[in-house]
Structure 1
Amino acid sequence: MPVHTRPPLPSRVHRILAVASLAVGLCVAAPASQAQAQAPLKAVASFSILGDLVRQVGGERVGVDVLVGPGGDAHVFQPSPAQARLVAQANVVFSNGLGFEGWMSRLLKTAGYKGEQVVVSKGVRALKEAEGHDHDEPRGHKQGAHAHGGSDPHAWQSVSNTKVFVRNIAQGLCRADPGGCNIYEDNATRYVAKLDALDGEIRAAWSPIPVAQRKVITSHDAFGYYARDHGVKFLAPQGVSTESEASARGVAQLVRQIRQEKIKALFVESISDPRLIEQIGRETGVKPSGALYSDSLSAPGGEAATYLDMMRFNTRALTSAVRGQ
């Protein structure tokens, strides 16, 4: 009869160590795969204001790259090969629409992009190029409007429009990442509440100022939606695009109007060449009141680093200027 003996101690130790090693390996693999599953969704936004809105809705679940960064001008932007590669790797691409990014379709084609595309202005009632502005304004700047098919693309200057943007962003993120949909919808709901509060602040800031006094000169027609919402008369030597050129006749008419109506608020824009506004200031004796943020946020940590900050900053600057302060 064979005698059963225990395996030598070393072989038993080896087996125990092997089992322990396998268990450790499984424990390490589980968090790694979990981390991989939770890697941020890759989103690309066309310009800085839109990038901020996507970050507000996406939260930590979404990594956002912006093509036209703070201080950049999307009207004249030319994408680089590196940015085409960035788009090619994205899960979702967000654009304003309304002709604002005339370069976007070429970029998507160059990148071979086949993922989710979200036009955030979908559902917004677009203003036509002269709508929201005074009809007696200088007529020598129509060229820029044609670049946008006759529409004013600066829809984010209305807080009510921005709420539409936010809902479209949430829906786009849900399509690209269904597992995070509850998070995106909750973030959007909280941010819309902040936008409602912001809208109330802006209306309260303008309410004591007589409508006849609400007259402002800016570099280009970027504030038509703000004008519509708050009864402000904006005049500009350029059209809705910074690519357009102000005509001598239009500028001369604007100078006469400033003198006749005693307009006090004269602003350059953060993305625009200030020389034309400075020239108008010299001819009218009206000192420029500073810069407004129309198509771009400020750098991180600046006075207009988020959409909420930008709208508050612009409103403070505008209401102070029209009062002559």
Structure 2
Amino acid sequence: MKLSPSLYALLAGLALTTQAADKLPVVASFSILGDLVQQVGGDKVAVQTLVGPDGDAHVYQPSPRDGKTLASAKLLVVNGLAFEGWMERLARASQYKGARVVASDKVKTHTMAEDEHGHDDHDHGHDHGKVDPHAWQNPANIHIYVANIAAGLSRADPANAAYYQQRAASYGKELQALEQWADKEVASIPAAKRRVITSHDAFGYLGQRFKIQFLAPQGMNTEAEASAKGVGKLIQQAKREGIKAIFVENVSNPKLLEQISRETGAKVGGRLYSDALSQPSGVAGSYLAMMRYNIATLVAGMRQN
């Protein structure tokens, strides 16, 4: 029997609705976590991300739609380390009753000394304190993130626990390949040249992992104000040390770095992806793509120092 177009569309819609209903509804706080949840959850999860590609989770203001999205979820995945300062308000407003995974749980945190990157004069009134929340910038930490996500999915959906664990293990091999490649790339740059200026202090973990010194006019939060004195010190250091590797970030206003570029004579290089992925079709549409792009961009910039 040949179905009419309208009946066919209705049946197709019902099939999609049934398929979606069979998936575990998960909310991730921002795009990088959304990708990791999707990598581990595969076709068993329906992931919705609150702060999307190129979005700044530091200054995000949840919408009523976010409340509805969270209220319908069975699992919430957050970074933790005070990164999502707005999350508790949203959880209370939406009366969220589901489980929660803190992806950074058990990560060895990086503690930022006030003068570590030359910005001791900054206003840290809106900062995260001294604990750096950007733990995902060290790919070694993503093994922990993925293990926590797999455990959370398994608790929320025990019937598919083996599936989640298998996908987590497979992704772990991809992370290992990324680290091996990155180690080789960064090793091609002499230690004395491993200095980079970025918009805000989002790369502390990456700096520790690959022995790169990152300098930034802002603190760990994009809301933090960079003082004129702090920026002046950074410009002097860039001139003194011949730092040419200057990069804007996809979540930051480029004006401050453009000023530093003008006064040092160093050209602003490519864009780095710090707190958010690019659009799916972009160069940093997944965590693995983001890290490969960032490392390649940083290495090319440091060669100019």
Query: What TM-score, normalized to structure 1?
Result: 0.86
Aligned to 1:308: 288
Q: Decide which of 27, 33, 40 is 1:50's aligned counterpart.
A: 33
Asked which structure has the greater CA Rg, the reply is 1
Does structure 1 residue 94 correspond to structure 2 residue 77? yes
Q: Displacement of 1:38 after TM fit?
A: 6.7
Q: Displacement of 1:147 after TM fit?
A: 3.0
Q: How does 1:237-248 map to 2 (within 5 A)?
A: 237-248=217-228
Q: How does 1:202-221 map to 2 (within 5 A)?
A: 202-221=182-201
1:295-319, CA deviations, whole angstroms, 9 ceiling, x for partnerless residues? 0000011000000000000001000
Q: How does 1:1-325 map to 2 (within 5 A)?
A: 39-130=22-113, 135=116, 137-143=118-124, 147-324=127-304
Q: Displacement of 1:324 after TM fit?
A: 1.3
Q: Displacement of 1:264 after TM fit?
A: 1.2
1:85-133, CA deviations, whole angstroms, 9 ceiling, x for partnerless residues? 10000010000000000001111111101111010000001111239xx
Q: Is the 8 A contact 2:117 2:215 kept in 1?
A: no
Distance in 2, Cα, partners of 1:66 & 1:135: 33
1:185-212, CA deviations, whole angstroms, 9 ceiling, x for partnerless residues? 0000000110011011110001121111
| Residue type at the aligned position of 1:255 | I
Query: What TM-score, normalized to structure 2?
Result: 0.92
> 2:27 is paired with a residue of what secondary structure?
strand
Q: Is the 8 A contact 2:79 2:102 kept in 1?
A: yes
CA-atom RMSD in angstroms: 1.9
> 1:63 is paired with a residue of what secondary structure?
strand
> 2:111 is paired with a residue of what secondary structure?
coil
Distance in 1, Cα, partners of 2:59 & 2:24: 29
Unpaired runs of 5+ residues, structure 2, are 1-14
1:7-34, CA deviations, whole angstroms, 9 ceiling, x for partnerless residues? xxxxxxxxxxxxxxxxxxxxxxxxx8xx
> 2:49 is paired with a residue of what secondary structure?
strand
Distance in 1, Cα, partners of 2:251 & 2:259: 17
Q: Displacement of 1:142 after TM fit?
A: 4.9
> 1:66 is paired with a residue of what secondary structure?
strand
Q: Displacement of 1:270 after TM fit?
A: 0.5
Q: Is the 8 A contact 1:44 1:64 kept in 2?
A: yes
> 2:290 is paired with a residue of what secondary structure?
helix
Distance in 2, Cα, partners of 1:136 & 1:48: 27
Q: Displacement of 1:139 after TM fit?
A: 1.4
Distance in 2, Cα, partners of 1:62 & 1:304: 22
Segments of 4+ moved more than 2 angstroms: 35-38
In the comparison of the two structures, how many residue pairs are matched?
291
| Residue type at the aligned position of 2:120 | R
Distance 1:54 1:136, change over 3 A: closer
Q: Is the 8 A contact 2:27 2:48 kept in 1?
A: yes
Distance 1:77 1:38, change over 3 A: closer
Distance 1:128 1:292, change over 3 A: same
Q: Displacement of 1:160 after TM fit?
A: 0.7
Distance in 2, Cα, partners of 1:89 & 1:251: 45
Q: Is the 8 A contact 1:99 1:147 kept in 2?
A: no
